[in-house]
């Protein structure tokens, strides 16, 4: 009996071994559909902003294609005789036709690769122009290297026409597109639904900046601050929709396009990374606003530090080679303006002398660079003795940036001179003397400077100017705090290219004045 039982157990083991061998040697068993491993990865949604952003990108692409095509075509036709018979192997004909076609395609592609057509860049102004110019110059640099290595003698006159004309047309097209976009945003179109998250004070400041910069296209629809719903909102007319940590859920519930995070106690690298992950399914973009006010992009450098982006801020450039260039620019510019406008200025001087008693020029002590006094020149626009009348009327105290709107002391000719800023032109002499610059904060009298606090005193770190950032941004119609903010922004972030832009905007203000009295 025992032997039979042992034999039966051995037979069972043999059968089990055969089954196992068959399973491992044969095809793998079919897996049921319900047994498959599956990870549900939600696809980011496309919000309402995606539709107008796609249309904007398409218009920018068309603008670039037309501008580049015109620039390359003009370069070809100006370089080569149109009577030449086009032969594919003739360098003066067909080969340059093929080169022109390839150049157009490569140029448009380069503008896209540089990010100049990205939705967040289009309409931004300086950043958009810089990316377009950088892409164009890099492309032609690459073309030069390829031609050198291939020993191909690319016609210099062809490049001399194609590059500047094409680049100017590209920038002009972007400017026109920007003007159209800003106009649409003024009408409430093409805006990104935005949720602000952060501390009460930081959210309040960001909300005010967004309101002033309506052309940026942010539409604040809600805020997330400590305390959540029921807490007084730091932004007028905008509800509190949740806590800071609930920003992703709030963005999904209100179909937001952007979540802008400002400084707050819980803003750690880990929390920001988690918020970025949580926003991916919603399609909303994360915008991190650093706690740095009025610092321009060229002064900011982002570098990685163990996986964390570090924002480095360079010191403002108050001295050095740039200021040597600025001085040369001032001298050449003031001499050019004086040469062109000499006859009209002489006529203005005659009118001032003939229509009211007193000297042609008004002189006054103003505070300049580092608090030093200098004598400022203007065409006299008031009756003689007007300055003493103002001091007497105010009891000897003159507030900072004080300028009455309807000043009875202004003469009839002076009112016209002030409206078109012609009374300021004699300050070109101050520029030549080195007391002033063409662009900078406007110089003020000592009684006004006495009201400066430590922040306002930074206006004295650079030479005062004939025109400045606040003069082309509303002039006397702006409140005092905003005027000071614009002056300080210029002092902290000035550049020679920025000076050129302000001068061009000043020329427009002279022709179409606003806020001048």
- Dump pLDDT digits (tens) for 359-377: 899 899 999 998 899 999 9
Query: Is residue 121 located within the same domain as residue 226?
Result: no
Query: Is residue 283 located within the same domain as residue 326?
Result: no
Flag whether 64 is in a domain.
Answer: yes
Alpha-helical (H) ranges within 229-317 are 247-253, 269-279
Query: Is residue 162 located within the same domain as residue 201?
Result: no
Flag whether 303 is in a domain.
Answer: no
Query: Is residue 227 located within the same domain as residue 113?
Result: no
Flag whether 150 is in a domain.
Answer: yes
Flag whether 100 is in a domain.
Answer: yes
pLDDT at 378: 92
Alpha-helical (H) ranges within 114-193 are 126-149, 156-186
Query: Is residue 207 located within the same domain as residue 178?
Result: no
Residues with Cβ within 8 Å of 421's Cβ and at least 6 positions away in sequence, in order, are: 467, 506, 509, 510, 513, 516
Residues with Cβ within 8 Å of 247's Cβ and at least 6 positions away in sequence, in order, are: 195, 197, 224, 259, 261, 275
pLDDT at 209: 87
Pairing of strands 218-224, 192-197: parallel
Cα within 13 Å of Cα(268), Cβ side = 5
Is residue 323 a contact partner of residue 335, using CB atoms and an 8 Å limit? no
Q: Which of 107, 99, 31 is nearest to 63 (CA)?
A: 107
Domain boundary among 291, 309, 340: 291
Flag whether 464 is in a domain.
Answer: yes
Q: Which of 316, 314, 289, 280 is nearest to 300 (CA)?
A: 314
- 498 forms bridges with which residues in the sheet? none
Query: Is residue 466 located within the same domain as residue 391?
Result: yes
Flag whether 486 is in a domain.
Answer: yes
Write down the residue that tokens 């047309």 correspond to.
169
Query: Is residue 230 located within the same domain as residue 110?
Result: no
- 311 forms bridges with which residues in the sheet? 302
CA distance 322 to 95: 44
Query: Is residue 449 located within the same domain as residue 376?
Result: yes
User: Which CATH number fits the domain that encloses residue 267?
Assistant: 3.40.50.720
pLDDT at 334: 94
CA distances from 97 to 70, 82, 115, 146, 217 (A): 14, 12, 28, 18, 42
Query: Is residue 285 located within the same domain as residue 333?
Result: no
Flag whether 196 is in a domain.
Answer: yes
- 260 forms bridges with which residues in the sheet? 196, 287
Query: Is residue 340 located within the same domain as residue 279?
Result: no
pLDDT at 34: 47
Helix axes 126-149, 156-186, angle to 10 degrees: 160
Six-digit token pair at 288?
């991190």
pLDDT at 377: 93
CA distance 470 to 350: 31
Is residue 363 a contact partner of residue 384, using CB atoms and an 8 Å limit? no
Six-digit token pair at 101?
């076609």
* Count of all residues that appear for the chain in the document: 517
Alpha-helical (H) ranges within 187-268 are 200-212, 247-253
Domain boundary among 186, 201, 216: 186
Query: Which residue segment(s) compose the domain that 151 sits in?
Result: 48-186
> Whole-angstrom distance between the N-terminal and C-terminal Cα of the chain?
125
Helix axes 94-113, 156-186, angle to 10 degrees: 40
CB atoms within 10 A of CB 150: 9
Six-digit token pair at 395?
């009891």
Six-digit token pair at 210?
């967004």
Q: Which of 143, 187, 181 is nearest to 162 (CA)?
A: 143
Query: Is residue 227 located within the same domain as residue 281?
Result: yes
Query: Is residue 474 located within the same domain as residue 460?
Result: yes
Flag whether 15 is in a domain.
Answer: no
pTM (2 d.p.): 0.67
Angle 424-428-431 from CA coordinates, rounded to 5°? 120
Looking at the 3D structure of the chain, how many domains does it have?
3
pLDDT at 136: 94
Domain boundary among 143, 160, 186: 186
pLDDT digits (tens, 9 = 90+) for 416-431: 888 888 889 999 999 9
CA distance 201 to 225: 10
Six-digit token pair at 42?
């939600």
Q: How far is CA 163 from the centre of its chain?
A: 24
Residues in the chain predicted with pLDDT less than 50, given as ranges, are 1-3, 5-8, 10, 13, 17, 19-20, 23-24, 26, 31-35, 37, 39, 83-84, 86, 88-89, 91, 395-396, 517
Alpha-helical (H) ranges within 269-427 are 269-279, 321-355, 386-393, 412-419
| C-alpha gyration radius of the chain | 34
CA distance 150 to 402: 67
């Amino acid at each position: 009996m025992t032997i039979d039982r042992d034999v039966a157990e051995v037979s069972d083991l043999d059968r089990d071994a055969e089954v196992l061998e068959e399973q491992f040697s044969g095809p793998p068993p079919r897996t049921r559909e319900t047994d498959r491993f599956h990870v549900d990865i939600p696809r980011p949604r496309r919000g309402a902003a995606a539709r107008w952003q796609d249309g904007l990108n398409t218009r920018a692409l068309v603008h670039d294609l037309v501008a580049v095509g015109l620039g390359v075509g003009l370069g070809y036709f100006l370089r080569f005789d149109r009577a030449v018979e086009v032969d594919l192997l003739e360098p003066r004909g067909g080969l340059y036709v093929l080169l022109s076609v390839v150049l157009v395609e490569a140029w448009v592609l380069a503008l896209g690769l540089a990010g100049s057509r990205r939705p967040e860049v289009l309409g931004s102004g300086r950043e958009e122009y810089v990316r377009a110019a950088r892409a164009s110059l890099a492309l032609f640099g690459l073309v030069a290297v390829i031609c050198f290595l291939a020993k191909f003698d690319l016609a210099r006159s062809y490049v001399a026409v194609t590059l500047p004309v094409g680049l100017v047309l590209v920038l002009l097209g972007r400017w026109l597109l920007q003007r159209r976009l800003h106009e649409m945003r003024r009408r409430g179109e093409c805006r990104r639904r935005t949720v602000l998250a952060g501390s009460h004070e930081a959210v309040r400041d960001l909300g005010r900046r967004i309101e002033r910069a309506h052309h940026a296209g942010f539409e604040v629809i809600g805020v997330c601050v400590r305390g959540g719903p029921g807490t007084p909102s730091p932004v007028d007319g905008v509800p509190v929709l949740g806590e800071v940590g609930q920003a992703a859920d709030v963005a999904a519930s209100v179909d937001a396009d952007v979540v802008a995070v400002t400084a707050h106690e819980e803003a750690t690298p880990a929390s920001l990374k988690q918020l970025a992950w949580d926003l991916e399914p919603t399609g909303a973009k994360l915008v991190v606003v650093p706690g740095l006010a009025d610092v321009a992009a060229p002064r900011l450098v982002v570098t990685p530090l163990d996986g964390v982006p570090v924002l480095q801020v360079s010191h403002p450039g108050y001295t050095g080679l740039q200021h040597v260039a600025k001085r040369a620019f001032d001298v050449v510019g003031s001499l050019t303006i004086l040469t062109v406008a000499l006859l009209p200025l002489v006529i203005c001087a005659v009118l001032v002398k003939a229509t009211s008693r007193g000297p042609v020029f008004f002189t006054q002590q103003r505070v300049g660079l580092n608090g030093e006094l200098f004598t400022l020149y203007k065409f006299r626009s008031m009756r003689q003795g007007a300055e003493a009348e103002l001091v007497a009327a105010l009891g000897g105290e003159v507030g900072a940036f004080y300028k009455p709107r309807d000043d009875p002391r202004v003469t009839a000719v002076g009112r016209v001179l002030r409206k078109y800023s012609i009374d300021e032109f004699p300050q070109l002499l101050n520029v030549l003397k080195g007391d002033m610059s063409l662009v900078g904060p406007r110089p003020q009298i000592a009684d006004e400077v006495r009201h400066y606090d430590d922040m306002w005193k930074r206006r004295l770190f650079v030479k005062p100017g004939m025109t400045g950032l606040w003069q082309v941004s509303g002039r006397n119609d702006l409140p005092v705090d905003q005027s000071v903010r614009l002056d300080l922004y210029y002092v902290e972030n000035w550049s020679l290219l920025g000076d050129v832009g302000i001068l061009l905007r000043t020329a427009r203000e002279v022709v179409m004045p606003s806020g001048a009295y």
